[in-house]
Amino acid sequence: MLMKKLELHWKILIGMVLGLVFGFVMLQIDGGKGFTNDWIKPLGTIFVKLLKLIAIPLILASLIKGISDLKDISKFKTIGIRTIITYIFTTVIAISIGLMLVNVLQPGNGVSEETISKLTTTYSSNTTVQAKITEATKQVESGPLQFLEDMVPDNAFKALSENRLMLQVIFFSIFLGISMLLIGEKRATPLKNFFDSLNDVVLKMVDLIMLTAPYAVFALLASVVVSSDDPDILVALLQYAGVVVLGLMLMITFYSIIVGTVTKKNPFWFLKEISPAQLLAFSTSSSAATLPVTMERVEEHIGVDKEVSSFVLPVGATINMDGTSLYQAVAAVFIFQALGLDLTFADQLTIVLTALLASIGSAAVPGAGMVMLVIVLESVGLPPELLPIGLALIFAVDRPLDMCRTVVNVTGDAMVAMLVAKSVGKLGEPHVRNWDDHYEEVK
């Protein structure tokens, strides 16, 4: 009964806390880890799969609907340019905050030789660390315009069949939407009705999936806890993790100030309305998986018009990662500090540029930020033989930090959606449907 009355974000939060507690209890029990992995983790995995399942249909339907609702194409151009500029601006702020904190607080100088050698022996030959380096090397070998080439699909159905190809889906949807505008309303109507209807259906699917969110986050967090590392190692990296988390909190403060001053909305209201998306970002560590929920919250609970959100949010999920770029800046400097290597002012400027590009290039999936960190490290001259050692230093706390930075990535996208909507007069009133978030009314 009580569960029925609670707002969704409270239910999710309770699920998360219980998941954490359950995970810690299972760690103490013989066979608890195996039990959690066999019987609890699948529930979380299924939930994430369901969210990913609807991400592509949702982008397709909502972007086509958003564009074909536009009265003229020039508006789309304005939205596009403002979105990209704001994304770059917020990312540069994030990197600057990260660099400032890591230079002032110097977390790398407090790491003892003993910790460094312990981390190096434990993780430097770890297969995940090695895989990240190999993946990053592949990215480096590509040419400067590779990203543009990659954005254009040569087969629409192939693009639609791979979550990884989200930018291609965005490209195809925009192309289709604009062409629909160009053939005139009368001839475009049948297709438009189809996508409008698909859009409503997919949003309903988001609601249905979200009803299971409190249970799913329980499973997700319990499985994160049981697969976490030795607590001693986590404590040794507390200072570094603390700097990243402090930076991420400053970013949320920065967003709140912008929301308050530019859109004139209450920042606490903003944070409360998008909190289910933030909590999911934390639990899944994936902005892509969270995207359907972010879209639903921003449109229905914040009041951003679909013409804006349908473009800003999917693009943001793939290219705007303020939390990731902040983390990359802190981690890069931390690694140099811990290894006793110097970074000049010019190096720090290089970090700003490469972390900006690296966060754009990072996939919206768990752990992707660490792959692109390799590129940032290489750009400031970390010798290749030190790369595995560098990554080994931060690997143990990467998952919890990934969870935190994904929250900032998602919040940043939502804030920019609000900002761009406000600037083009498309920030309206929330239109929450009363069957949202409750089983009873879904029937």
Contact in structure between 441 and 435 (CB atoms under 8 Å): yes
Give 341's contacts (C-beta < 8 A, 6+ positions apart).
Answer: 382
Q: Which residue is nearest to ligand ASP (CB)?
A: 369
174 binds ligand ASP (CB under 6 A): no
Closer residue to ligand ASP, CB minimum distance, 307 or 413? 413
What number of residues does the chain have? 443
DSSP alpha helix (H) spans, 339-397: 345-361, 368-379, 387-395
Distance of closest approach, residue 254 Cβ to ligand ASP, in angstroms: 18
**Residue 292 parent element (H or E):** helix 287-296
Q: Which of 247, 303, 366, 390 is close enough to bind ligand ASP by CB under 6 A?
A: 366
Residue 286 DSSP one-character state? -
368 binds ligand ASP (CB under 6 A): yes
Q: Which of 168, 362, 379, 411 is close enough to bind ligand ASP by CB under 6 A?
A: 362
**Residue 431: burial class (beta carbons within 10 Å; 0-12, 13-18, 19+):** exposed
Beta bridge partners of 427: 304
Site for ligand ASP in 319-348 (CB under 6 A): 321, 324
Closer residue to ligand ASP, CB minimum distance, 248 or 259? 248
How distant, in Å, are the alpha carbons of 55, 207, 330 from that of 202? Answer: 9, 9, 38
* Size of site (CB under 6 A) for ligand ASP: 16
Q: Which of 305, 402, 413, 437 is close enough to bind ligand ASP by CB under 6 A?
A: 402
Dist CA 411 CA 294 (whole Å): 9
User: Binding marks (x or -) toward ligand ASP, 25..54, rule CB under 6 A?
Assistant: ------------------------------
223 binds ligand ASP (CB under 6 A): no
Closer residue to ligand ASP, CB minimum distance, 260 or 367? 367
Distance of closest approach, residue 402 Cβ to ligand ASP, in angstroms: 5
Dist CA 402 CA 17 (whole Å): 18
Distance of closest approach, residue 340 Cβ to ligand ASP, in angstroms: 27
Output helix, strand, coil percentages for the chain, rounded to the nearest 5.
80, 0, 15
Closer residue to ligand ASP, CB minimum distance, 324 or 337? 324
Q: Residue 296, SS3?
A: helix
User: Binding marks (x or -) toward ligand ASP, 239..278, rule CB under 6 A?
Assistant: ----------------------------------------
User: Binding marks (x or -) toward ligand ASP, 282..321, rule CB under 6 A?
Assistant: ---xxx---------------------------------x
Closer residue to ligand ASP, CB minimum distance, 16 or 64? 16
Distance of closest approach, residue 286 Cβ to ligand ASP, in angstroms: 4
Residue 142 DSSP one-character state? S
Closer residue to ligand ASP, CB minimum distance, 41 or 405? 405
Provide the residue type at 63 as one letter. Answer: L
Residue 36: both structure tokens together: 């959690």
Cβ-based neighbour number of residue 38 at 10 Å: 10
Comparing CA positions, the residue from 400, 392, 386, 377 lying closest to residue 330 is 377
Distance of closest approach, residue 248 Cβ to ligand ASP, in angstroms: 11
Distance of closest approach, residue 164 Cβ to ligand ASP, in angstroms: 12
Comparing CA positions, the residue from 117, 16, 395, 411 lying closest to residue 241 is 395
Dist CA 378 CA 374 (whole Å): 6
User: Binding marks (x or -) toward ligand ASP, 56..95, rule CB under 6 A?
Assistant: ----------------------------------------
Distance of closest approach, residue 98 Cβ to ligand ASP, in angstroms: 13
Q: Residue 230, SS3?
A: coil
Contact stretch for ligand ASP (CB under 6 A) within 130-138, 152-160, 223-231, 365-373: 365-373
Closer residue to ligand ASP, CB minimum distance, 254 or 327? 327
Contact in structure between 135 and 264 (CB atoms under 8 Å): no
Sign of CA dihedral 354, 357, 360, 365: negative
Count Cα neighbours of 309 within 13 Å in the Cβ-side half-sphere. 26
Contact stretch for ligand ASP (CB under 6 A) within 88-96, 296-304, 344-352, 367-375: 367-375
The owner of tokens 């603390």 is: 242
Q: Which of 132, 301, 405, 426 is close enough to bind ligand ASP by CB under 6 A?
A: 405
409 binds ligand ASP (CB under 6 A): yes
Residue numbers at the binding site for ligand ASP (CB under 6 A): 285-287, 321, 324, 362, 364-369, 402, 405-406, 409
